[in-house]
Amino acid sequence: MDTNLNAALLDDLLTITGQPQPERTEVRVWSMSGVERLSFPDGTTRIFKYAKRPFDSEDQVLRLAHTLGVPVPIVHASAVTGDWLGMLLEDLGNPIRDADDLDGAAAAVVLHRTPTAPALPVLGEEALRALPNRALDHLDRLRKEERWQDTDDIEHALNQIAQAAEDRAAGATLAPFGWVHSEFHPTSLHIGQRGWRLLDFARAFTGPGLLDLASYHGTLDAPDPVRLRVFLEAYVTEGGTPEALAERGGLPAEKWALGWHRMWAVEWFMEQSIRWINCPVHDPAYIRTVRRHLADVLQLLAV
């Protein structure tokens, strides 16, 4: 992010809240967002989070989640400059420990019980079924820019998944269907002195809650259906709907969830490549990741 734009965004937030210039300490920064801790002269602190489109509506989602009873950081102020959102958030302090699987299961139960919100985009059965074709559209655009040229294998895999998608997407609206955090990982769950809070709601939507449960253990390692099954059972034990264990699309719940979560990730990576980041230098890394996830999708969805 441009330093001057960053400073202007923070100045807008300080003007809104009537606060003086603070000391700034970076917590985490990457190409499309960043987090800083602000320390004010009176000893109070706030979190300054900034993010570029398409992550520029998180303030609205956090306020909505808070109104509906989801434990999230309080948004003290927000402002938009160009494509960038800036927020002053409650400082939750350092976590007292890392979140574990039981914490994740309990948090998911709370989130998935939250009333649905009309303002959120919806990923139902039709939209789930469309993911491989959306990815093919991204691939076509990339190739028109003379990128992703040697990727016939990716095209073939996406066509295979598209052909099977109508059958495999069945059951998408079985419970739990509603709030989906979409970046649900242990690092998005803050365990503090005053309880837990869910962070990072920039891409929340309405859809199959199993996608959250499938995302919890990340995508760096090979998908582990047995581990997810144990997690799903913990989710039900913590009060989640027993339907979370139900077969859907002709598959066990854990394979369905992992397969569609990987397909959702593939479409997102390809959209980033052509739209949000759009930097050919990163193409080799994105292609490797897409190939790895597609191999998992083919196996998990039994395509």
**Across 17-39, average pLDDT:** 92
Q: Tell me which of 1.10.340.30, 3.30.200.20, 3.40.50.740, 3.30.530.20 is the CATH number of domain 3-89.
A: 3.30.200.20
In this prediction, residue 278 carries a pLDDT of: 86
Q: Is the pLDDT of residue 1 over 70?
A: no
CATH number of 101-300: 3.90.1200.10
Give the contacts of 267 (CB within 8 A, at least 6 positions apart): 131, 132, 134, 135, 138
pLDDT at 3 over 80: no
Residue 210: strand, helix, or coil: helix
Q: Three-state DSSP class for 124?
A: coil
Contact 12, 79 (CB under 8 A): yes
Q: What is the mean pLDDT of residues 146-166?
A: 97
User: What are the strands, taking DSSP E only, across 146-238?
Assistant: 177-180, 189-192, 195-198, 205-208
238 by DSSP, 3-state: which?
Answer: coil
Long-range contacts of 271-280 (CB under 8 A, 24+ apart): 271/134, 271/138, 273/138, 273/142, 273/147, 273/148, 274/138, 274/141, 274/142, 274/145, 275/138, 276/32, 276/52, 276/53, 276/54, 277/31, 277/32, 280/145, 280/147
Question: Comparing C-alpha atoms, which of 226, 265, 243 is closest to residue 172?
Answer: 243
Cβ atoms 259, 214 nearer than 8 A: no
Can you give the residue ranges of every domain in the chain?
Answer: 3-89, 101-300
Q: Which is nearest to 180 in space by CA: 291, 274, 284, 65? A: 65
Dmax over Cα atoms in the chain, in whole Å? 61
pLDDT tier, 277 (very low <50, low <70, confident <90, very high otherwise): confident
Whether the full predicted model's pTM is greater than 0.75, yes or no, is yes
Q: Does 35 score more than 90 pLDDT?
A: yes
pLDDT tens for each residue of 198-208: 999 999 999 99
* Structure token digits, residue 121: 């985009």
Predicted pLDDT at 223: 97
Q: What is the pLDDT of residue 227?
A: 98
Cα radius of gyration rounded to whole Å, the chain: 20
Q: How many CB atoms lie within 10 A of CB 40?
A: 14
User: pLDDT category, 79, cuts 50, 70, 90?
Assistant: very high
Measured distance CA(250)–CA(269) in Å, rounded = 27
